Structure 1
Amino acid sequence: MIPLVLLAGFLGAGKTRFLTDAIPALAQRGVRSRVVLNDFQNARIDAARLGELEALVTPLNGECVCCGSLRELLQTLYDVPAEQGTVMFIEANGATETDELLGHLTTDPRLAHFTLPLQLTVVDAGRWQKRWWHNGLERAQVATATHVFLNWTERLGAPRVAQVRAALSELNARAALVTPADFTASLAALTAEVGEVPARGGREGVAAVPRPRGVPHTHPFGSLVLPLPATVDRVAFHQFVQTLPAAVVRAKGLVRFADRPGEMYVWHRLPERRTVRLDRSWPHDDAAATALFIGVALPLEDLEQAVSRLASVG
């Protein structure tokens, strides 16, 4: 398998700069980098910049890879050979909704030659949460991260850096705060560990990410699909969604309610909220009620018990 890394961060946070440090560091450890680079206009410019570092770079101009350019991104990933000693980076543009993209990267069976994705979010320490109506998107890009790199700290005083560190930890305590050196050491170790593994295994794929000294133990994203009862109590279902474990960063599926068993709905738990959105659906007659969960270190037993309790409410 090939380690798969989603590189996220708001516009100007320094994602490409991070890669200019990470790619040579990986090369020194004998690891080759592939990069899919998504940007609105200048993907080819940054691709040329990274190509000078002997990385294999595919530019994707245009819309975000979480929506308009998703099909092109996935086709690019399908075509990547499962070569040992290689790491695959996806540098998403600054407007990317990471939870949506992670949903595709964790559940598409044609990506089984990659590990479940790591997500490194680059944060501009000086501009953190100073983006007006985009603050929510910036928080969401951190909330789904397995690793965070705090950039541009040399421009700031110690109180501001400490403030941002505390905010990031409160928002996502699971994420490891890393430097490029930390992260590349971890990636090189992961590359060696999974190099001879042919495909993702088990319900959550590769279990853990090797860690350098001083870096907290972290897990890649996983996904889990569980069947729901054929019909459920509407109130109990809303309670089920509201009490999902914090490790679940995205949840969706199909559901039928006992008070209207002839209707089926697509359900989504809304990001950063415990409420659920329901959209009427007209699926095939044999479509089954399901729940898809995406997150870090998903608590399998807790989720199975929650579904079991839902089934017992009649």
Structure 2
Amino acid sequence: MYTSRAHLPMIPLVLMAGFLGAGKTRFLSEIIPALGQRGLRSRVILNDFQNANIDAARLGQLDALVTPLNGECVCCGSLRELLQTLYDIPAESGSVMLIEANGATETDELLGHLSTDGRLKHFTLPLQLTVVDAARWQKRWWHNALERAQVATATHVYLNWTERLGAPRQALVGKQLGEVNARAARVTPESFADVLADTLRAPGASADAGIRREDAALPRTSVAPHRHPFASLVLALPESVDRSAFLRFVQTLPEAVVRAKGLVRFRDTPGAMFVWHRVPGRQTVRLDRSWPHDDANPTALFIGVAMPIADLQGAVDALG
């Protein structure tokens, strides 16, 4: 373990941002083991619309302290709960705090709170890691501005899903990211784990001295509450469903659903539970075996704008 050089150790604080479906939880599943290899303990706060237990289930086997934070975006409706969670975390050496914000978070406002709150003195000033879906970068219609804004405040950027792209598309995305934010360093889970380890090794890495990253350029503004354009809906799935019927259901969701995910059990494998998720523009439904909390039940979570709630409820009922 790395130890502080003064009385009270500071915990590196990382805000993880990225549009819906960019791959933030996937990044977490890779960086947590990488931090462990460097002798660092991961603390994780997962924020999501109404049911953060879904993503917490995906991290169930990793050596991390995971706190689900259900509700609205941590930049507005769930901000108080987020801050209280951070206040309650003890100052300890050799740990890292990772906050996975949901995909609709406006990072500039949240960074303002994390940077100015005097009760967070046991944390470093925040770094922001933004995960970018290279295949869908700036292909989100009226949500393009939010995606750019999440990059504009980043100190570090991880370009995800590049294996799906040719060299010209990768070059174009890289060029556009540089135009939005030329300061952000491009990282991988491994290299970002090195960044956090180096932060803890830095001289004065304690609450007595404080740490400021010169490349952060974080806003320090007071922000009024606001409403997001996104809405969410959580529906209970049957205890088990036919696999083929469920996959058809997910693949034919209406375009108004920006993001869909949840927990599901199939009749052909009744003893297993899976995290499922789908992002518009992708034909397949991803299934990941999960080890959920004891109170986790089969669930469908939908995020979008002007969603046809009655139609979604009817489609879920038909799965029974």
Q: Is the 8 A contact 2:205 2:211 kept in 1?
A: no
Map of 1:175 onto structure 2: 184
Judging changes above 3 Å, is the alpha-carbon distance between structure 1 residues 131 and 34 closer, same or farther for their aligned structure 2 residues? same
Tell me if the contact between 1:64 and 1:96 (Cα under 8 Å) persists in the aligned partners: yes
Deviations 1:151-186 (A, max 9, x none): 000001000000000000011000001111111111
1:220 counterpart residue number: 216
CA RMSD across the alignment: 1.9
In structure 2, the partner of 1:190 is 199
CA distance in 2, matches of 1:81, 1:3: 13
In the TM superposition, residue 207 of structure 1 has moved relative to its aligned partner by 3.5
The amino acid across from 1:219 in the alignment is D
Q: Classify the secondary structure of the residue corresponding to 1:90.
A: strand
* Long gaps (5+) in structure 2: 1-9, 225-320
Q: Is the 8 A contact 2:42 2:65 kept in 1?
A: yes
Residue 146 (str. 1) matches residue 155 (str. 2): yes
Q: Does residue 1:127 correspond to 2:136, yes or no?
A: yes
Distance (Å, rounded) in 2 between the aligned partners of 1:221 and 1:25: 27
Residues 251 and 79 of structure 1, relative CA distance in 2, 3 Å threshold = closer
Q: Tell me what 1:207 maps to.
A: 212
Structure 1 residue ranges (4+ consecutive) displaced by more than 3 angstroms after TM superposition: 249-253
1:4 paired residue number: 13
Q: 1:86 to 1:221 in 2, by over 3 A?
A: farther
Q: Deviations over 1:220-258 (max 9, x none)?
A: 355xxxxxxxxxxxxxxxxxxxxxxxxxx56569xxxxx
Partner of 1:68: 77
- Taking every aligned residue pair, what percent have the same amino acid on both sides? 73
Secondary structure of the equivalent of 1:110? helix
Match of 2:286 in 1: none
CA distance in 2 between counterparts of 1:156 and 1:111 reads 41
What is the match of residue 40 of structure 1? 49
TM-score, normalised by the number of residues in structure 2: 0.64
**What secondary structure does 1:168 align onto?**
helix
Q: Distance in 1 between matches of 2:128 and 2:203?
A: 18
- Structure 2 residue 116 is matched with structure 1 residue 107: yes
1:31 is the counterpart of 2:40: yes
Q: TM-score, normalised by structure 1?
A: 0.65
What is the CA deviation profile of residues 265-305 of structure 1, one whole-angstrom value per residue up to 9, with x for unaligned ones?
x9xxxxxxxxxxxxxxxxxxxxxxxxxxxxxxxxxxxxxxx
- Distance in 2 of aligned mates of 1:6 and 1:194: 23
Counterpart among 134, 154, 161 of residue 170 in structure 2: 161
Shift of 1:36: 0.5
Q: Label 1:136 to 1:50 Cα distance change in 2 as closer, same or farther (>3 A).
A: same
Where do 5+ consecutive residues of structure 1 fail to align?
Answer: 209-217, 223-248, 254-265, 267-314
Residue in structure 2 matched with residue 230 of structure 1 by the alignment: none
Paired residues of 2:12 and 2:199 also in contact (CA < 8 A): yes
* Superimposed CA distance per residue, residues 128-169 of structure 1 (whole angstroms, 9 cap, x where no aligned partner): 001011000000000000000000000010000000000000
- Structure 2 counterparts to residues 81-92 of structure 1, below 5 A: 81-92=90-101
Question: In structure 1, how many angstroms separate the alpha carbons of the residues matched to 2:110 and 2:35?
Answer: 25
How far 1:49 moved relative to its partner?
2.1
Alignment partners' CA distance in 2, 1:41 and 1:11: 14
Q: Contact (CA 8 Å) 1:2, 1:194: kept in 2 or not?
A: no
> What displacement does 1:102 show?
0.4
Question: Quick one: structure 1 residues 250 and 78, their matched pair in 2 at CA, closer, same or farther if it must change by over 3 Å?
Answer: closer
Query: Which is worse superposed, 14-23 or 32-41?
Result: 32-41
Q: Distance in 2 between matches of 1:252 and 1:16?
A: 29
